[in-house]
Amino acid sequence: MGEISPNEFVHFIGDDIRLDPVMLDKEMSTEQMLQFYMGKNTPDRQQFIIENLKVELDTIEDEV
């Protein structure tokens, strides 16, 4: 972690480390999931990305 100083890093792995509980999905195995997200680029995945793109835009309405 080149961007973080050791003093800061202490807080990441301390007692109050942030942990989110998760649950495995019954419909999709871990292997399938990894295959989809990390595997070869498939037309399916491309379509999935295009359909679910997240847009963050902080427009300035009228600045005159």
Partner 1 sequence: MSEEINENEHEEELTNQNEALDTPQQETITKVTGMYREWFLDYASYVILERAVPSIEDGLKPVQRRIMHSMKDLDDGRYNKVANIVGHTMQYHPHGDASIADAMVQIGQKELLIDMQGNWGNILTGDRAAASRYIEARLSKFALDVVFNSKTTDWKMSYDGRRKEPIDLPVKFPLLLAQGAEGIAVGLSTKIVPHNFIELIDASIKYLKGRSFKIFPDFLTGGIADFTNYSDGKRGGKIRVRAKISQFDKKTLVINEIPFGTTTTSLIDSIIKANEKGKIKIKKIEDNTAAEVEILVHLPPNVSPDKTIDALYAFTNCENSISPLACTIENNKPVFVGVSEMLKHSTDLTVDLLKKELEIQLNELEEQWHFSSLERIFIENRIYRDIEEEDTWEGVIKAIDLGLQPYIKHLKRVITKDDIARLTEIRIKKISKFDIDKAKQFIESLEDKIAVVKNHLANLIEFAVAYFKRLKVTYGNGKERKTEIKVFDDIVASKVAMNNAKLYVNREEGFVGTSLKKDEFVTDCSDIDDIIVFRKDGKMSVTKVHSKTFVGKNIIHVAVFKKKDKRTVYNFMYRDGSRGPSYMKRFNVTSVTRDKDYDLTNGNKGSIVHYFSANLNGEAEIVSINLRSVGSIKKLKWDIDFADLAVKGRAVRGNTITKYAIKSIDFKSEGVSTLKPRKIWFDDAVQRLNVDDRGELLGEFRAEDKLLIITQSGKVKVVKPDLAMHFENDMIVLEKWKLNKPISAIYFDGEKERYYIKRFLIEVPEKEEVFITDHPKSQLEIVALDYRPIVEIQYSKRSLVNEQVDLEKFIAIKGIKAQGNQLTSEKIKQINLLDPLPFEEPKDLTSEEIEVIDEQIIKDEIQIKVPELEIKKIVMEEISVEEKARIALQKSIEKKKAEDRKRDDKSQTKLF
Q: Are 48 and 56 in contact (CB under 8 A)?
A: no
Task: Based on the shown chain and the rule CB under 8 A, indicate whether residue 20 belongs to the binding site for partner 1.
Answer: yes
Task: Based on the shown chain and the rule CB under 8 A, indicate whether residue 3 belongs to the binding site for partner 1.
Answer: no
Instruction: Select from 14, 15, 13, 33 the least CA-distant residue to 23.
Output: 33
Q: Which of 30, 31, 35, 39 binds partner 1 (CB under 8 A)?
A: 30
Instruction: Number of residues interacting with partner 1: please give it, by CB under 8 A.
Output: 29
Farthest CA pair distance, the chain: 55
Q: How far apart are the first and last CA of the chain?
A: 44
Binding region for partner 1 (CB under 8 A): 19-25, 27-28, 30, 33-34, 37-38, 41, 45-46, 48-50, 52-55, 57-60, 63
